[in-house]
Chain A
Amino acid sequence: MTDTPKIELRNVTKRFGSKVVLDNLSLVVPKGKSLVVIGGSGTGKSVMLKCVLGILRPEKGEIFVDGENVLKMSTSEREQTLRKFGMLFQGAALFDSLPVWQNVAFGLIQGRKMKRKEAKDVAIAKLAKVGLGPEVGELYPAELSGGMQKRVGLARAIAADPEIIFFDEPTTGLDPIMADVINDLIIDSVKDLGATALSITHDMASARKIADEIAMIYKGRIIWAGPRSEIDSSGNDYVDQFIHGRATGPIKMDVLKP
């Protein structure tokens, strides 16, 4: 395949003060595939997504979306590119001043100037897709459980039928059954939309289920990437330690240091 990848990061470096969070990170997300990035807490996974979205600006490197360098774009070109994206935030990040249906319809009403009535119908359809009834649409985010908030976040991410969807730890903090429900929803919505997905997780069951390809991030670099089927035979000690959840191995948690 010689298609231009949907997203490509080349030697991206991002620091906060003197702390290097992304260190020459390179990653390719092929069109129409679901790539899952695994890695420990605080290794820069969320920062990586935010760099692609332009919420954070890397100090160095290039980021391509559909072959175009987003870091060189003007603000309006950038806003245009952002319309291709949907994002499910780690903490759902629902607007707590708006009822659920307006959250889901937000990108349609504010970003795309759809009529409120029409947008509400779309919102209710998307809520149904994530297994929530129309009555939930009238509630406020604070009145929902964590799992429901995640599902609303998912409905919001897919509301505008994006070409690219980012999922930041979609299953963290959910019970195993709800986690699996979310996994199915992700698979379905990605398939329905024919979208490209970039997900982040440290939940291996989820990764195995939703990934076409898996990449592992460690200390701000991608240390392994390959198809899902090869994750168990990667021959990489870091990957092995992570997928089996062992405390001993090449990855040293700060807490284990004397």
Chain B
Amino acid sequence: MNFFAIIGRVVLALLAEIGHLAVFTWASISHIFRPPFFWRLLGQQMMRIGYFSLPVVALTAFFTGGALALQIYYGGSTINSESIVATIVALGITRELGPVMAGLMVAGRVSAAIAAELGTMKVTEQIDALTTLSTNPYKYLVTPRIVAAVITLPLLVFIADILGVMGGFIISTASLSFNPGVYVQNTVNFLKADDVTSGLIKAGVFGFVIALMGCFQGFNSKGGAQGVGRATTNAVVTASILILASNYVMTSLLFAK
């Protein structure tokens, strides 16, 4: 085939997909604000998305904080490292690494699970069956997942912030033999509320992206087990890329001077 024809085809397919996603996003958002609401399902999803992601997010944050402290120490040991390690760990974790690492871990866990579950429901006609039982699939399946993710991700990231900073603290005091009191002092002095809230705002957006991509890919999967597998992979890949891209955009907006 002609080279330009291939490019044209790919671009058209991409545009179609973006249009498709936009329609899906709009439908999902508009259903969040219209009754009926499925509170029971919301609670269930908050458990699944938030609570059960705790261990993985906590461990990731803890080790990231520790590794970050080591790197700053090695890189900056010539100058007065003791004062900068605490500050950079605190800022790095709350502003960037906490939300991004938690977002990516939850994307791997939750987007995949949502896409697999909804994808299976799609190919076995369970989603069609919902419609015939006077239940809107967006309200019943998509809304609880999106709302649960948007609520729980900031909570997860808040915990990740604490554990990440703690990871840095423990490594610094235990293996780099920093003074604990000075470390805490440096952290508290330099960390502002804005640093934490900016991270939590990011987390809310990531939660939306994670649940949305899982639902979108699940709803659009076709063709049996293989199709569900493809939907799962696509959900994780697209959610991760969107998290990284939107993180960049938000950083440039939130911290623009």
Contacts from A to B (Cβ < 8 Å)? 50, 53-55, 79, 82-83, 85-87, 89-91, 93-97, 106-107, 110-113, 156, 160
Complex Cα–Cα for A55 and B126 (A): 12
* Assembly CA distance A49 to B129 (angstroms): 12
How distant is A174 from chain B, measured CB to nearest CB, in Å?
A: 18
User: CB distance A86 to B135 under 8 Å?
Assistant: no
Q: When the two chains form the complex, which single residue of A53, A90, A111 contacts B135, counting CB atoms closer than 8 Å? A: A111
Report the nearest A residue to B133, measured CB to CB.
Answer: A107
Among A53, A96, A156, contact of B131 (Cβ-Cβ < 8 Å): A53
7 contacts across the A-B interface (CB closer than 8 A):
A82-B132, A83-B134, A87-B132, A95-B129, A96-B120, A96-B126, A160-B133
Q: Would you call A91 and B125 a contact (CB within 8 A)? A: yes
Q: Is the CB of B135 within 8 A of A107?
A: yes
**B124 CB-CB contact with A under 8 Å:** yes
Query: Out of A50, A79, A97, which one reaches B136, CB within 8 Å?
Result: A79
Q: Which of A85, A90, A91, A113 contacts B132 (CB 8 A)?
A: A85
Docked CA distance A94–B133 (Å): 12
Contact of B134 among A55, A89, A107, A156 (CB under 8 A): A107
Q: In the complex the two chains form, is B135's CB within 8 Å of A55's CB? A: no
* Bound-state Cα–Cα, A87 to B38, Å: 23
For window 84-136 of chain B, which residues contact chain A by CB distance below 8 Å?
117, 120-121, 124-126, 128-129, 131-136
The chain B residues found within 8 Å of chain A, CB to CB, are 36, 38, 117, 120-121, 124-126, 128-129, 131-136, 140
Given A94-B126, A110-B38: 7 more A-B contacts, CB < 8 Å? A53-B132, A55-B128, A79-B136, A90-B125, A106-B133, A110-B134, A112-B134
The CA of A169 and the CA of B150, in the complex, are separated in Å by: 42
Q: Which 7 A/B pairs are nearest by Cβ-Cβ distance?
A: A111-B134, A107-B133, A93-B125, A93-B129, A87-B132, A110-B135, A55-B128
Chain B residues within 8 Å of A79, by CB: 134, 136
Q: When the two chains form their complex, are residues B124 and A93 in contact, meaning their CB atoms are under 8 A apart?
A: yes
* Pairwise interchain contact B131-A55, C-beta atoms closer than 8 A: yes
| Residues of A close to B128: CB separation below 8 A | 50, 53, 55, 89, 93
Q: Contacts A55-B131, A82-B134, A85-B132; is A110 near B140 (CB within 8 Å)?
A: yes
Which residues from chain A contact B132 at a C-beta distance below 8 Å? 53, 55, 82, 85-87
A156-B120 Cα distance, complex, nearest whole Å = 20
Between A93, A95, A97, A107, the greatest number of chain B beta carbons within 10 A of the residue's beta carbon is seen for: A93
Q: How far is the CB of B61 from chain A (nearest CB, A)?
A: 31
